[in-house]
Amino acid sequence: MAVLDRARNVVVVRIVYDGPAGAGKTTTVHALGQRLGREATTPEEAGGRTLFFDWLDYTGGLFEEHRIRCQIVSVPGQAMLASRRDYLLDGADAVVYVGEVREHNLADTVEALANVIERVGTRDAVPVGVLLQANKSDLPGALPVDVLREACEQLGSTVAVVPSVATEGTGVREAFVLAVRLALDRVRELGRLGQLEQGSPEVDDAETLLDRMRAQPSVDESERGGGGVQIAAVGLADVLRGDTPDHPHGESLASAALREMGEAASAVQEGGASESHHHGTPLPPDASVPPGLIWPPVEGRVHVTEATRGRTRLAFVHGRWRGTNPEGWIFHSPATATFEDSEQGRGGLILLARMHTEHAGVLSPSRAVLLSPDVGGRWRLWQVGRDRTSLRQRLAKRLHERDPSTIARLLVEAASRLVELDARLRRLPRSALRATLDTTGMVGDVVCYVAALPDALATERVRPLDLAAELGPILRDWPVPRTQLRAAVRHTRAAAAAADPSLVQQIVALLDD
């Protein structure tokens, strides 16, 4: 429902909190309201359960010179009220799924997230960001975050995970700030595509939303009772100066969060960046950069957010800065990939985004490109992705093998995958990527290009795959008699499944040298 209201100079986004009954949606929204010094509104409830929604409305911060207005809405969690939930999800610009995840309900949580993604993913060309707020993470039996992230990867879509204890306010701010950033990524992409609605929002307050929901055909006539709605809207002046009853001279949660995004946007225009504490070492990627500096929109920010949660270790290797972290992500940036300001660097960002798009069918998933603040007020271009195991790494782990049949199978499988990726790359109209032991790997059962994209892609076609150059050094590292390997290669079952009929002969020829 993102709307650019030029008359009031605001961009309006809706953050929807979804999840099962009792998971902590209402607690989360009310915790946000308490930090703002106001009470969130729950129009109707029964037995402590929300029947329509919880509502919180506030304005603060800037997005491309427009004030940011957020409508925070939580859905009813009861299954019998699913039509109301769907109605609210249909207007979401970002979804925070609040769940209490234990071993016994992990599969149900993943299935529910898949349902959310399917619901919000078919609306238009720009995805709606989804994140899992793993609530009650302090209770015994709560699953660790890394287990939840691994489970979410099964969805085939990008979901961030934020642990929380809503009753204490822990994690509530982090989930909210990320949700707003995802919503603004969506707003910017809608604007770029010319699909951002303009005018006054159709639903401008809680009373209007309640009237709309009561008017839905699925709502029983007996439920259309009277009663006004006390709207917990935070005034613009209060938010901007941070004056609330609980914080008369301080800064509220939402004001601080939206101010941070506004300051990040100002830094883009002014070219500002903080100093590194290690002279010469670049600043690591920053997931808080403004919309337009991360690709792909929405899901790219989720990738970068997940990738930067752990401590990043940077090293300079072969002319590139290479970063790793315990979460299993890897960062790449050429030494020369720095720019005086963000506008200068945007061209490089667009070029890398185009390269990724053109090679989408062969690249390993979970990748992002971003332009991030660097030392001395400069900006650095980073590639971020999951750290995937290459064929070379896979083979190196098996150099202890002494069984000729096992080695033969490994060789034929590696050669077959090299040939397969090489063929797929050659079918692309303008690809100059090369299939090598370092760039080829497996994601599940799919052969993919797992390396970072090169600094610059050549315009000419690459030379043909050279199996001798790729496999020769590996063969020399295996101290097994070549006569035994030749016989094993000829008889291995993997040879019969090789994609190229001449593959086995090529490997045998290598063993003859």
DSSP 31-94: HHHHHHTSPPB-S-EETTEESS-EEEEEEEEEETTEEEEEEEEE----GGGHHHHHHHHTT-SE
Residue pLDDT, tens place only, 7-48: 999 999 999 999 888 888 888 998 888 876 777 888 766 556
Quick one: average pLDDT of 342-358? 91
Q: Which residue has the tokens 């590292």?
A: 477
Note whether 323 and 308 are within 8 A (CB). Answer: no
Prediction pTM value:
0.77
Residue 166: DSSP 8-state: T
Name which of 165, 180, 181 is nearest 31 in CA terms: 165
Give the mean model confidence (pLDDT) for residues 432-447. 93
pLDDT of 4 strictly over 80: yes
Question: Whole-angstrom Cα distance, residue 134 to residue 54?
Answer: 19
37-41 long-range Cβ contacts below 8 angstroms, 24+ apart: 37/238, 37/244, 37/245, 37/246, 37/247, 37/252, 38/232, 38/233, 38/234, 38/244, 39/232, 40/72, 40/232, 41/206, 41/229, 41/230, 41/231, 41/232
The pLDDT value given to residue 497: 54
The closest alpha carbon to 470, from 440, 512, 425, 505, belongs to: 440
What was the pLDDT predicted at 190? 93
Contact yes or no for 392/438 (Cβ under 8 A): yes
Answer yes or no: is pLDDT of 275 > 60: no
Q: Is the sign of the CA dihedral 288, 294, 300, 304 positive or negative?
A: negative
Q: What is the pLDDT of residue 282?
A: 94
What totals of helices (H) and strands (E) does the chain contain, helices first? 16, 20
Longest dimension (CA), the chain: 89
pLDDT for residue 92 is more than 90:
yes
Taking residue 272's Cβ as centre, other Cβ atoms within 10 Å add up to 14
- Quick one: pLDDT at residue 383? 96
Angle (CA) 178 124 372, round 5°: 35
CB 459 within 8 A of CB 429: no
Q: What's the pLDDT tens digit per position in 299-311?
A: 999 999 989 887 8
Q: Which string of DSSP letters, residue by residue, matches 91-132?
A: T-SEEEEEE---GGGHHHHHHHHHHHHHHHTTSSSSPPEEEE
Over residues 54-72, the mean pLDDT reads 88
Alpha-carbon distance 391 to 397, whole Å?
10
Among 61, 48, 123, 59, which residue's Cα sits nearest to residue 90? 123
Q: How far apart are CA 250 and CA 242, in angstroms?
A: 6
Contact 52, 66 (CB under 8 A): no
Q: What is the pLDDT, as a whole number, of residue 394?
A: 94
Asked whether 407 and 485 are in contact (CB, 8 A), the reply is yes
Q: Answer whether residue 124 shows pLDDT above 80.
A: no
- CATH class of the 294-386 domain in this structure: alpha beta
Q: Which of 286-290, 379-383, 440-444 has the lowest mean pLDDT?
A: 286-290
Q: How many residues does the chain have?
A: 513
- For the record, the structure tokens of 81 come out as 């009220």
Q: Is residue 93 within 8 Å of residue 2, measured between CB atoms?
A: yes
| E-state strands within 190-308 | 197-198, 233-234, 294-295
- The mean-pLDDT minimum among 101-110, 288-297, 355-364, 384-393 falls in 101-110
Query: Does residue 239 surpass a pLDDT of 60?
Result: no
Reference 296, options 355, 250, 242, 244; nearest CA is 355
Closest CA to 443 of 433, 434, 451: 451
Q: Looking at this protein, which amino acid is placed at residue 403?
A: D
Tokens of 379: 């900006």
Tell me the per-residue pLDDT of 177-192, one tens digit each, with 9 for 90 and over.
999 999 999 999 999 9
pLDDT tier at 340, thresholds 50, 70, 90? very high
Take residue 419 and report the two structure tokens written for it.
């040939």
Tell me the mean pLDDT in the region 207-215. Answer: 86
- Tokens coding 513: 């040298």
Q: What percent of the chain has pLDDT over 90?
A: 36
- What average pLDDT does the structure give for the chain? 81
The larger pLDDT score, comparing residue 50 to residue 146, is at 146
> pLDDT by residue (tens digit) across 371-408?
999 999 999 999 999 999 999 999 999 988 888 888 88
The per-residue pLDDT for 493 is 55
Question: Distance between CA atoms of 284 and 373, rounded to whole angstroms?
Answer: 9
Distance separating alpha carbons of residues 336 and 331, to the nearest angstrom: 15
Which string of DSSP letters, residue by residue, matches 334-385?
A: ETT-EESSHHHHHHHHHHHHHHHHHTTTTB-SSEEEEEEE-GGG-EEEEEEE
Q: What value does the mean pLDDT take over residues 317-336?
A: 91
CATH superfamily of 3-255: P-loop containing nucleotide triphosphate hydrolases (3.40.50.300)
Residue 286 or residue 220, greater confidence = 286
**Residue 5 pLDDT > 50:** yes
What is the pLDDT averaged over residues 306-317? 88
Sequence ranges of the domains in the chain: 3-255, 294-386, 391-512
CB 55 within 8 A of CB 209: yes
451, two tokens = 């390396």
What was the pLDDT predicted at 442?
95
* Nearest to 333, CA basis, from 289, 385, 297: 385
Check residue 252 and give its pLDDT. Answer: 41
Name the CA dihedral angle for 380, 383, 387, 393, rounded to a multiple of 10 degrees. Answer: -100
| pLDDT (0 to 100) of residue 496 | 53
Lowest mean pLDDT among 287-291, 341-345, 427-431: 427-431
From the list 31, 72, 32, the residue with the least C-alpha distance to 53 is 72
